[in-house]
Structure 1
Amino acid sequence: MSEHLTSVCRRMGISIQPARLRTGRDKGPVERFFRTLRENLLQALPGCKGPDVHSRGSTPEADAFFFLDELEAIIREWVATAYHH
């Protein structure tokens, strides 16, 4: 984990609790959320590059460009309106 990530988390009041070694079930719910986010929201956004080369178009980066605050707003709205229902 990078020092930048830990400093950002510290500023945001997020405590990092590493998973135990060789214990896959520790991160299961978080990994499942990221998979759901990718499959239900991110792949539908314009400019999505997809998980592999075959899922991408010829120039996916030309389709869309989101700033971090815009992407954060999109994800927050999706969590509030779709994920929690």
Structure 2
Amino acid sequence: MLYDDGKYYKWVAKADHDNPYYTKGTDWSELNRTEGYEILYFINHFADKHVSGAPTLETYQKIEKMIRYDVPHNQRTHKKIADWIISNWPRS
């Protein structure tokens, strides 16, 4: 991941409701943009579902950059973030 410098993403779940082995994300659930395991799952799932052909490293990095810098912070659910990325992919 581009921003895995130990400062941006958290990889340890400290809250009882956090799951460091995050394996699912429903459309209505919120994406925590600083939980590394959630972002990694989201990027992989998004690429598998929405990118035609085999995704490249550049594709994964573009998704990560869009989530960090471009997706408005009022877009919080998996579905809304995915829809925003799809709508804005050509411009990024």
Q: After TM superposition, is the score higher than 0.5?
A: no
TM-score for both structures, normalised by structure 2: 0.31
TM-score for both structures, normalised by structure 1: 0.33
Higher relative contact order (CA 8 A, sep 6+): 2
Which one has a bigger Cα radius of gyration? 1
